[in-house]
Amino acid sequence: MVAFWILAALMTLVALAFVLVPLLRPGIAAGPSAREANLAVFRGQRREIDADIASGILPAGAREEALRDLVDRAQDDIPETARADARRDKPWLAAAAVIVALPALAVGTYLVVGNPAAADPQMRAKADPDERQIMAMVESLAAKVRERPDDARGWALLARSMAALGRFKESAQAYEHLVTIAPPDAQILADYADALGMAQGRTLAGRPYELARAALAIDPKHRKALALAGTAAMDAGDFPAATRYWETLAGDLPAGSEDAAQVSAILADLRLKAAVAGATLGRAPAPAAEAGAATQKSVSGLVSVAPEIASKVNATDTVFVFARAEGAARMPLAILRTSARQWPIAFALDDTMAMTPATRLSLAEAVRIEARISRSGDAKPQPGDLVGTSAVVKPGARDVKIVIDRVLP
């Protein structure tokens, strides 16, 4: 508060300096004053009167009357100019008026239109509550809603406030009461599932998954419920169900949005995990007009092992067959997981094995098929894996031959 008024005083002094310095600066004696100039004019007029009489323009008897008229005009003009010169020679009264009026006007205006209390630290503390004050307000809210067990709006506010504070157990308890007094609502159930999942160790298994599905029974396209259910299904290893939830969510998001890109990445990861686990997923969504073309553009063939490395293959090894777009990103367009028990291995890759709806085998101009034998069963390449690659082919190719003949360093 003191610092504010010191700064205000300094700014007022600067403003006064801009006004007083020019006002008090001595005048420059560059010429005669107004009084002297008027006297010079009157002297000239008197000489003109004398000249006119001498030349006969005016009669001699008119001289006295002309001089009296000149004197009367001089008495009217010279005192005014003298007083004006006196005012300019003595500006201190004006300076004193400015010194008093300017600060008074500035302070008065601030007190009327400003907010002096804003500079008070105590007032700022009241205006910006700290965490303890927020906690106190939430506790007060909790006490009030417990006295009104049928106040659905109050219980909803309490549940959301507890979740915002990270007190998920208390938030879940408030939601548990809220669902018993409020009409069925997908948003409340989804929020309840989220809070309960956080409260039980950041897992959606069990009751949270049930709540998310109950929300979807009310609103099948509720975005938060779809994300929660998709995550719960993926964590449970139910890849087909997880894919359905995430694909439904992807279809409801604006194309090209940040959310759509995130869901697309989740779907790609989900399909990769499903392929590693050997799970069969449904066909990635495709427009009806493209469905027939997609079926016609599958790639099929045989995978064999070169004789010189055949001894390195075990019957328990896992075989992955990938289709990748030639000259594009490394993300597989389709992936097949099988075992190394029988050779050669027949394969067929199509859009049912797509990683995402936007990256399908049928949409590629040209592809290269890669086969890899993994000792660890991991879809990611590991040192010691055995690899073979086909020539570049077009979607729809048949009898593609792949020979596994290399060992990854």
| Tens digits of residue pLDDT in 127-162 | 445 566 667 777 787 788 888 888 888 888 888 888
- Contact indicator for 325, 366 with CB cutoff of 8 Å: yes
- Contact indicator for 319, 372 with CB cutoff of 8 Å: yes
Q: Quick one: which of 138, 187, 147, 193 has its CA closest to 167?
A: 138
| Spatial separation of the C-alpha atoms in residues 163 and 141, rounded to whole Å | 14
* Contacts (Cβ under 8 Å, ≥6 apart) of 163: 171, 191, 194, 195, 198
Which of 144-158, 176-190, 290-304 is least confident?
290-304
Residue 49 or residue 298, greater confidence: 298
pLDDT at 284: 46
| Spatial separation of the C-alpha atoms in residues 342 and 378, rounded to whole Å | 20
| Spatial separation of the C-alpha atoms in residues 205 and 208, rounded to whole Å | 6
Q: In whole angstroms, what separates CA 156 from the centre of its chain?
A: 27
Render pLDDT for 232-280 as a digit per residue (tens, 0 to 9): 998 888 888 998 999 899 888 888 788 888 888 788 777 777 776 666 6
pLDDT at 196: 94
Q: What is the b/e burial string over 300-316, where b = at least 16 CB atoms within 10 angstroms of the residue's CB? A: ebebbbeeeeeeebeee
pLDDT at 86: 47
Reply yes or no on whether the pLDDT at 99 is more than 80.
Answer: no
pLDDT at 324: 87
311-315-321 Cα angle (round to 5):
95
Reply yes or no on whether the pLDDT at 341 is more than 70.
Answer: yes
User: pLDDT tier at 94 (50, 70, 90 boundaries)?
Assistant: low
User: pLDDT tier at 209 (50, 70, 90 boundaries)?
Assistant: very high
In 10 A of CB 42, how many CB atoms? 15
**Mean pLDDT of all residues in 173-189:** 90
Residue 227 or residue 137, greater confidence: 227
**Given 3.40.630.10, 1.10.760.10, 2.60.40.1120, 3.20.20.70, which CATH number is that of 296-407?**
2.60.40.1120
Reply yes or no on whether the pLDDT at 117 is more than 60.
Answer: no
Which of 28-32, 145-149, 231-235, 360-364 is least confident?
28-32
Reply yes or no on whether the pLDDT at 399 is more than 50.
Answer: yes
Render pLDDT for 184-194 as a digit per residue (tens, 0 to 9): 899 999 999 99
Q: CA distances (Å), 151 to each of 181, 311, 354, in order?
A: 8, 73, 49
- Contact indicator for 281, 239 with CB cutoff of 8 Å: yes
3-state secondary structure of 364: coil
pLDDT at 52: 67
Q: Quick one: which of 282, 270, 264 has its CA closest to 237?
A: 270
Do you find a cis peptide bond into 344, omega within 30 degrees of 0?
A: yes
For the four alpha carbons of 397, 398, 399 and 402, in that order, the dihedral sign comes to: positive
**Mean pLDDT of all residues in 390-403:** 91
Superfamily of domain 131-277, CATH level 4 = Tetratricopeptide repeat domain (1.25.40.10)
Domain boundaries, the chain: 2-25+32-121, 131-277, 296-407
User: pLDDT tier at 60 (50, 70, 90 boundaries)?
Assistant: low
pLDDT at 187: 93
pLDDT at 390: 92
- Contact indicator for 74, 38 with CB cutoff of 8 Å: yes
Q: What is the b/e burial string over 193-230, where b = at least 16 CB atoms within 10 angstroms of the residue's CB? A: bbbbbbbbeeebeeebbbbbbbbbebbeebbbbbbbbb
| Spatial separation of the C-alpha atoms in residues 294 and 171, rounded to whole Å | 48
pLDDT at 30: 45
> Highest-confidence range of 9-23, 116-130, 239-253, by mean pLDDT?
239-253
| Spatial separation of the C-alpha atoms in residues 280 and 301, rounded to whole Å | 20
Neighbour-count burial of 255, counting CB atoms closer than 10 A to its CB (0-12 exposed, 13-18 middle, 19+ buried): exposed
Query: What rounded mean pLDDT belongs to the chain?
Result: 77
Model-level pTM greater than 0.95? Answer: no
Question: What is the DSSP secondary structure assignment for residue 117, as one 8-state letter?
Answer: G
User: pLDDT tier at 213 (50, 70, 90 boundaries)?
Assistant: very high
pLDDT at 33: 54
Reply yes or no on whether the pLDDT at 115 is more than 70.
Answer: no
| Spatial separation of the C-alpha atoms in residues 121 and 119, rounded to whole Å | 6
* Contacts (Cβ under 8 Å, ≥6 apart) of 397: 299, 300, 301
205-207-208 Cα angle (round to 5):
70
Which of 122-131, 178-187, 244-253, 326-335 is least confident?
122-131
Looking at the chain, how many residues does it have? 409
**Two structure tokens written together for 272:** 């990769």
3-state secondary structure of 322: strand
Which of 90-104, 182-196, 293-307 is least confident?
90-104
pLDDT at 28: 46
